[in-house]
């Protein structure tokens, strides 16, 4: 297994995974329509690894153009990141999310079956657990009760993949349920570059640190947690990227369907994250407590023992590492990837 099609490979997690693929001797082929990423990322990947990945600016919804890639390139496996991912926007624009996220995956599956590509790694999310029945969350924890259309597309795609895998046993499918990715590449050349006001905590903190935003809004301090703020499992994006390499290696055994949580197994509150960022970078982060966001849960962190044991993978980097790397990225790239 050598040549890996990476959909959404210019995005935040996708680009870091492409770097790890190149470092591990794979040949990634990026397909990305750049609707939420910049082409400059391809240059940065080349600077970091010394190798330039193949890149197609194509939407997975454009079946004709997308099929050309399958005709032209020999593809051994697919890692599927492409999709819209802003929770709040998905509530306001559900049709946009269902159309894009579901139909792009259906087109991808159709091509994989037609061209006999039998290895599929799916970028899923802990959001599929809804309000979790137990914490830490293991893979047998019931899914469902998802509170927004974005999360529902992740759960629906998981169900579609399981249905298809049942009738195509030659297809190996690995569902990777991410917890909360943070951090940036240690070189400071790649990181999270959200459009508009960030939805995620870390880019919000770094934009306050650099003066782009006045203060951090902390959504709610009346949760059932030690300091009242929401608790999440924050995993460094480089550790997360390496989890995909481990999943590809596992699929060489032709295991059929596999499901893994990728997190650290530790819960960190919003205020703990703010204090860790201040400690790591010696910068004060002003914040204001505001009302809860609808759909946010008290706490969510992973039991990753299955991935530790079966994939021989575990998170090695700390929240402090992620705080340092995120600030290094933001400082070196105050406008993200800019308008290049």
Active-site amino acid positions: 150
- Which DSSP helix (H) or strand (E) runs through 244? helix 237-251
3-class SS of residue 269: strand
Q: In this structure, are residues 272 and 48 in contact, taking their beta carbons and an 8 Å threshold?
A: no
Strands 27-31 and 54-56: parallel
* Alpha carbon distance 245, 253 (integer Å): 14
Strands 268-269 and 231-232: antiparallel
Q: In this structure, are residues 307 and 249 in contact, taking their beta carbons and an 8 Å threshold?
A: no
Indicate if the alpha-carbon torsion angle 163, 166, 169, 173 is positive or negative.
Answer: positive
Question: Which residue's entry shows tokens 């099609």?
Answer: 5
3-class SS of residue 142: coil
* Alpha carbon distance 290, 22 (integer Å): 43
Rounded to the nearest 5 percent, the helix, strand and coil shares of the chain are: 40, 15, 40
* Alpha carbon distance 42, 202 (integer Å): 23
Q: Which two tokens stand for residue 107?
A: 């087109």
Q: Which two tokens stand for residue 129?
A: 């657990």
Secondary structure (DSSP) of 41-62: HHHHHHHHHS-PPEEE---TT-
């Amino acid at each position: 297994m050598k040549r890996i099609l990476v959909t959404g490979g210019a995005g935040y997690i996708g680009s870091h995974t492409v770097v790890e693929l190149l470092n591990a001797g794979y040949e990634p082929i990026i397909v990305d329509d750049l609707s939420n990423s910049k082409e400059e990322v391809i240059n940065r990947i080349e600077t970091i690894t010394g190798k330039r990945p193949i890149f197609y600016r194509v939407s997975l919804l454009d079946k004709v153009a997308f099929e050309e890639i399958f005709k032209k390139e020999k593809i051994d496996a697919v890692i599927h990141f492409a999709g819209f991912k802003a929770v709040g926007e998905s509530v306001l624009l559900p049709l946009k999310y269902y159309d894009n996220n579901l139909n792009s995956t259906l087109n991808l599956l159709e091509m994989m079956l037609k061209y006999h590509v039998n290895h599929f790694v799916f970028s899923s999310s802990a959001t599929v657990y809804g309000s979790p029945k137990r914490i830490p969350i293991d893979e047998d924890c019931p899914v469902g009760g998802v509170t927004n259309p974005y999360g529902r597309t992740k759960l629906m795609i998981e169900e579609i993949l399981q249905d298809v895998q049942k009738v195509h046993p030659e297809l190996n499918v690995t569902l990777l349920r991410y917890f909360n990715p943070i951090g940036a590449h240690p070189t400071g050349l790649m990181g999270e570059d959200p459009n508009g006001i960030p939805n995620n905590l870390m880019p919000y903190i770094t934009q306050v640190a650099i003066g782009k935003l006045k203060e951090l809004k902390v959504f709610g301090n009346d949760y059932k947690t030690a300091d009242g703020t929401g608790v999440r499992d924050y995993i460094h994006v480089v550790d997360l990227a390496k989890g995909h390499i481990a999943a590809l290696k596992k699929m060489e055994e032709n295991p059929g369907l596999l499901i893994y949580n990728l997190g650290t197994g530790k819960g960190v509150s919003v205020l703990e994250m703010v204090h860790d960022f201040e400690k790591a970078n010696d910068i004060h982060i002003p914040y204001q407590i505001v009302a809860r966001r609808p759909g946010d849960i008290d706490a969510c962190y992973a039991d990753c023992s299955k991935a530790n044991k079966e994939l021989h993978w575990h998170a090695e980097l700390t929240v402090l590492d992620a705080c340092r790397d995120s600030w290094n990225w933001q400082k070196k790239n105050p406008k993200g990837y800019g308008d290049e």
